[in-house]
Amino acid sequence: MRNHLRRLCCVLLIAACGLSVMAAAQESAVDRDARMSWWREARFGMFVHWGLYSGLAGTWKGEAVGDRGGMEWIQQRVKADTWEYAHEAVPHFQPEAGFAEGWAQLAKDAGCQYVVFTSKHHDGFALHDSSVTDYDAHDLVGRDLCKEIVDAVRAQGLRVGFYHSVIDWHHPQYDYDAASSLPHPLHGQPSPNGTRNHAIYLEYLHHQVRELTSNYGTIDILWWDYSKPENEGPFWRADELVAMVRELQPAIITNDRLYAIPNIEKDDSVGRLHQWKPERGDFTTPEQTVPSTGVPGVDWEVCMTMNTTWGYSEHDHAWKSTETLLCNLIDIVSKGGNYLLNIGPKGDGSIPEESITSMRAIGEWLKVNGEAIYGTTASPFEPPAWGRYTSKPGKLYVHVFDWPADGVLQIPLTSGPPQTAYLMATSSRNALRVDSSQKGIVIQVPSTAPDPIASVIEIEL
Ligand code: GLC
């Protein structure tokens, strides 16, 4: 009888999963647009990589591991097993009270509309209070850090998401031989605990994701990481995973990294955009590169570091300038994408000064020019050498990086009634002089740029 009941439960569960997979697949274009609308308008988010690696800060047993590249991979770079890694890292991971409020405040000041943070990175350490492991914040520091972060971000009125790694360098049943195309510190060595049963790891993975999407209120994004063609989709029971998440969080938005894009390393990021398929996730994720063009109908988000590492490193001083970061934001938005800009807090949760300075400067710029970013769509015109365009119904925004020495801007707007143009950086909405020419319109601008990085002219069409 008990077996019979168990079988019935299984059938019902599979049917429920099947139904929600179908529901996701059958979502109408209108419903999908409604679900995606806040994300498409948001344009700018803050990524946070933070975990046990943050306290190590790119240093292993007193030696710098390097001054470039992802130090959230330090366990893999020094080829430590999980016990040695935890032994070194745990003493340096000491989050200060209130760290999460600091992150959320910075995201708000920067003008970010959402925050995505690492609920678990490849090292396998969970920031949430998980019932299926001791390798979590609750057991190691006595706090649910996930809850602290989610609450702080929400208190600032921002959307929140989890970056969740399906790769796991901690779990004793994660079968790194089977996951041969994905990184693991023990590759090439026999498993210390004998034959591994990947199915057990998958139960664990699914359980933790269920906890994350059940216990923290509304979660806006699930940002999976990552797959390769040999280890993707079915290898994670991905369809089921996504169906569960969509059932628990019907409005959630997910990226496509549970599924691999073949040959992606040999391709540029436009290739990634072209190969996006809706059944793999809501948006695709060029990493560290800005595609040369957007692709209509494809939702995409560039994720990028401010230096060269995602997780904090005391040795990486290759900081991008505020100018580069702000111009990237404008460039990406002008092509129809979002920008997810990363900070890597230290082991105590504090944020590197360089990141704070750039984030705040972008926020100051957005206070003046935000209308030319939020809710805009890709430019209808080819980008000019001197700047970029973004647009909204009835408006064209001209972002000028190189202010014209002759005080004249030529815009290829040829049709429609006469246009009015204003400088966004001035409080008086004095119209600029606009003349028509054969190639479009000509705007007379003041001799000096109102903004040293990007000045915006709003054109009413
Ligand atoms: C890669 C890296 C990882 C980083 C991520 C961010 O997948 O493995 O360390 O978290 O990209 O996009």
Residue 310 CB–ligand 1 contact under 6 Å? yes
Assess whether pLDDT exceeds 90 at residue 5: no
Predicted confidence at residue 9, as pLDDT, reads 40
Q: What are the C-alpha distances in Å from 304 to residues 45, 334, 372, 455?
A: 11, 17, 21, 23
Predicted confidence at residue 417, as pLDDT, reads 67
* Centroid of ligand 1 to alpha carbon of 315 (angstroms): 19
* Centroid of ligand 1 to alpha carbon of 436 (angstroms): 49
Residue 72 CB–ligand 1 contact under 6 Å? yes
Q: Specify the ligand 1 atom closest to the Cα of 311.
A: 9
Residue 226 CB–ligand 1 contact under 6 Å? yes
Separation CA 363–CA 356 (nearest Å) = 10
Q: How do the domains of the chain map onto residue ranges?
A: 14-372, 387-460
Predicted confidence band at 15 (pLDDT cuts at 50, 70, 90)?
Answer: very low
* Centroid of ligand 1 to alpha carbon of 219 (angstroms): 21
Residue 323 CB–ligand 1 contact under 6 Å? no
Assess whether pLDDT exceeds 90 at residue 26: no
Assess whether pLDDT exceeds 90 at residue 128: yes
% of the chain surpassing 70 pLDDT: 93
Mean pLDDT of 99-124: 99
Cα–chain center distance at 417: 40
Model confidence pLDDT, tens digit, residues 294-339: 999 999 999 999 999 999 999 999 999 999 999 999 999 999 999 9
CATH topology of domain 14-372: TIM Barrel (3.20.20)
Model confidence pLDDT, tens digit, residues 367-403: 999 999 999 999 989 999 999 999 999 999 999 999 9
* Centroid of ligand 1 to alpha carbon of 422 (angstroms): 41
For a mutational test of ligand 1's pocket, the pick from 287, 289, 338, i.e. the residue with the most ligand atoms closer than 8 A to its C-beta, is: 287
Predicted confidence at residue 429, as pLDDT, reads 73
Whole-number average pLDDT of the chain: 93
- Residue 166 tokens read as 């399906």
Which amino acid does the sequence have at 117? F
Residue 287 CB–ligand 1 contact under 6 Å? yes
Asked if 14-372 and 387-460 have one fold, the answer is: no
Residue 304: what are its φ and ψ, rounded to 5°? -155, 145
Model confidence pLDDT, tens digit, residues 246-296: 999 999 999 999 999 988 877 779 999 999 999 999 999 999 999 999 999
CATH number of 387-460: 2.60.40.1180
Q: Specify the ligand 1 atom closest to the Cα of 257.
A: 7
Q: Specify the ligand 1 atom closest to the Cα of 226.
A: 7
pTM of the model: 0.94
For every residue of 6-46, DSSP letters joined together read HHHHHHHHHHHHHHHHHHHHT--HHHHHHHHHHHHHH-EEE
Predicted confidence at residue 24, as pLDDT, reads 54
Q: Using DSSP, state whether 65 is helix, strand or coil.
A: coil
* Centroid of ligand 1 to alpha carbon of 252 (angstroms): 21
Q: Specify the ligand 1 atom closest to the Cα of 285.
A: 12
Residue 71: what are its φ and ψ, rounded to 5°? -85, 0
Q: In what order do the strands lie in the sheet with 221-225?
A: 253-254, 221-225, 159-165, 114-120, 44-48, 338-343, 301-304
